[in-house]
């Protein structure tokens, strides 16, 4: 879907090949952050100039999220704030909401163009082309363009998109409507991008996608996510083991099979960290969600087996409370499962009906207040688990922290825990790996000192 509102009258419509100052704003997931960086690099290669303040921009692009109603509300607020700050700059909108809510967004004050799935290839042609081009037929594609291929990243920990889209169709999820069918990135392209990012100084790279369980199904020859991990290990371990690392983004619990266990056990470059799209601990609820392929009862035994190889590892989960038809007994199953798992954190969301998804029109909708109450219970449980996990991390002799900031010196360790070094160090640059020793726990983070330095 690509929509355009009435002609934008506040600014001169540029000629194609005009050089423009642009400002990018990103809402939502890591895939959005990655794609925004792809756009930034493409526009700068064309001669346009990215600015860090919206007030200096001649054009603004907002990369939005549509996963919840709140995400859409945040997008509207963001657009309104940007227009107030820079009323003369036309605003472009892309991302999932451009596909699912195009006409609505096109009517927002200040919005000059909304770029949906079929026209994503047009984005990389530059902001001048987006604002000046009238005929979109030549740019429309039945298979959406995949925004990928970085040479750098504007954060200390880089991300590598290996997959886009989803063909599964969970009954609550709007992503298949927003991003289309699954598309896998060729392994050689992934390897080449990782090489570029390592050469640029990155020492942690997250492998991200919309549904990693579907990675490789559309490749010839076919492969899966664990095959890709093994390829990356074979390619990069000889030079980079102990000097750089990979982190996996959200995994479907159904991916935790014998092949996964063998791959994780043999890895020398993966962070000891799993993040699972669990959603519920009830098989009945998962069936209604369209996630009957997942057996929540398999997760705890897998973690127990993994602990024989990874004595300590981070475990995060996504949880959805108050799905239509979720009763107290179903919710209690989720509580019991989370209590049994070695969780280090959880992302808990009350169910948000998304128009266009099957579940939004189902009977037995759980009252919003009860959805939020259940979410509060799970968040409290997750916080207790997080506190316990921090105590376990304190027993580690050393942590490897990717430096994200220097004042104070801070970053994330291999267990996805925020760390801060309590003494200043010279010559330590963001993106580098620093060996530290945990000293104490403060709210939300672990205070550390450089390994080899004695505590007071």
Mind listing the pLDDT tens digit of every residue in the chain (456 residues)? 444 444 454 445 566 557 899 999 999 999 999 999 999 999 999 999 999 999 999 999 999 998 888 899 999 999 999 999 999 999 999 999 999 999 999 999 999 999 988 788 889 999 998 998 655 554 555 555 667 777 777 789 999 999 999 999 999 998 888 888 999 999 999 999 999 999 999 999 999 999 999 999 999 999 999 999 999 999 999 999 999 999 999 999 999 999 999 999 999 999 999 999 999 999 999 999 999 999 999 999 999 999 999 999 999 999 999 999 999 999 999 999 999 999 999 999 999 998 889 999 999 999 999 999 999 999 999 999 999 999 999 999 999 999 998 889 999 999 999 999 998 888 899 999 999 999 999 999 999 999 865 444
**How far is it, in rounded angstroms, from Cα 338 to Cα 49?**
48
pLDDT score at 119: 83
**How far is it, in rounded angstroms, from Cα 298 to Cα 283?**
11
Query: Residue 246 has which token pair?
Result: 């990979």
CA neighbor of 106 nearest in space, from 218, 2, 248, 10:
2
**Domains in the chain: ranges and CATH:** 2-134 (3.40.50.280), 158-391 (3.80.30.20), 399-450 (no CATH)
**How far is it, in rounded angstroms, from Cα 271 to Cα 415?**
7
CA neighbor of 34 nearest in space, from 153, 123, 198:
153
408 by Cβ neighbours in 10 Å (0-12 / 13-18 / 19+) ranks as exposed
pLDDT score at 16: 58
Query: Residue 383 has which token pair?
Result: 């916080």
**How far is it, in rounded angstroms, from Cα 248 to Cα 275?**
8
3-state SS class at 346 = strand
First-last CA distance in the chain: 62
Instruction: Say if strands 59-64 and 21-26 run parallel, antiparallel, or are unpaired.
Output: parallel
Beta strands in 11-110 (DSSP E): 21-26, 49-50, 59-64, 91-95
**How far is it, in rounded angstroms, from Cα 40 to Cα 34?**
10
Q: In what order do the strands lie in the sheet with 314-321?
A: 273-279, 314-321, 345-350
């Amino acid at each position: 879907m690509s929509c355009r509102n009435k002609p934008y009258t506040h600014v001169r419509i540029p000629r194609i090949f005009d050089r423009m100052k642009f400002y990018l704003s990103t809402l939502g997931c890591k895939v959005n952050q990655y794609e925004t960086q792809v756009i930034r690099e493409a526009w700068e290669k064309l001669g346009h100039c990215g600015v860090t303040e919206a007030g200096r921009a001649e054009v603004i692009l907002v990369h939005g999220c549509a996963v919840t109603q709140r995400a859409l509300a945040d997008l509207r607020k963001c657009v309104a704030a940007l227009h107030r700050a820079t009323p003369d700059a036309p605003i472009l909108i892309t991302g999932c909401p451009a596909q699912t809510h195009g006409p609505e967004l096109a009517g927002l004050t200040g919005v000059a163009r909304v770029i949906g799935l079929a026209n994503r290839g047009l984005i990389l042609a530059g902001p001048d082309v987006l604002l000046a081009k009238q005929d979109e037929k030549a740019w429309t594609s039945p298979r959406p363009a995949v925004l990928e291929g970085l040479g750098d990243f504007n954060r200390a920990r880089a991300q590598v998109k290996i997959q886009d889209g989803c063909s599964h169709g969970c009954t609550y999820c709007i992503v298949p409507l927003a991003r289309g069918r699954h598309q896998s990135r060729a392994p050689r392209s992934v390897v080449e991008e990782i090489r570029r990012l390592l050469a640029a100084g990155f020492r942690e790279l997250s492998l991200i996608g919309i549904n990693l369980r579907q990675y490789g199904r559309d490749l010839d020859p076919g492969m899966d996510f664990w095959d890709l991990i093994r390829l990356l290990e074979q390619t990069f371990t000889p030079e980079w083991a102990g000097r750089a690392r990979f982190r996996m983004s959200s995994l479907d619990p159904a991916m935790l099979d014998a092949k996964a266990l063998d791959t994780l056990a043999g890895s020398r470059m993966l962070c000891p960290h799993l993040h699972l799209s669990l959603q519920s601990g009830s098989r009945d609820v998962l069936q209604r969600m369209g996630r009957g392929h997942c057996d929540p009862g398999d997760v705890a035994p897998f973690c127990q087996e993994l602990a024989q190889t990874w004595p300590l590892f981070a475990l995060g989960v996504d949880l959805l409370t108050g799905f239509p038809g979720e009763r107290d007994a179903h919710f209690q199953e989720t509580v019991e499962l989370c209590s049994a798992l070695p969780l280090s954190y959880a992302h808990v969301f009350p169910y948000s009906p998304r128009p266009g998804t099957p579940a939004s029109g189902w009977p037995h909708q759980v009252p919003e207040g009860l959805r939020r109450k259940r979410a509060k219970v799970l968040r409290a449980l997750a916080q207790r688990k997080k506190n316990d996990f921090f105590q376990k991390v304190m027993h580690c002799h050393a942590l490897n922290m990717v430096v994200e900031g220097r004042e104070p010196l801070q970053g994330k360790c291999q267990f996805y825990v925020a760390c801060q070094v309590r003494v200043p160090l010279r010559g330590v640059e963001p993106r580098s790996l620093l060996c530290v020793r945990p000293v104490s726990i403060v709210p939300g983070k672990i205070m550390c000192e450089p390994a080899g330095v004695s505590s007071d």
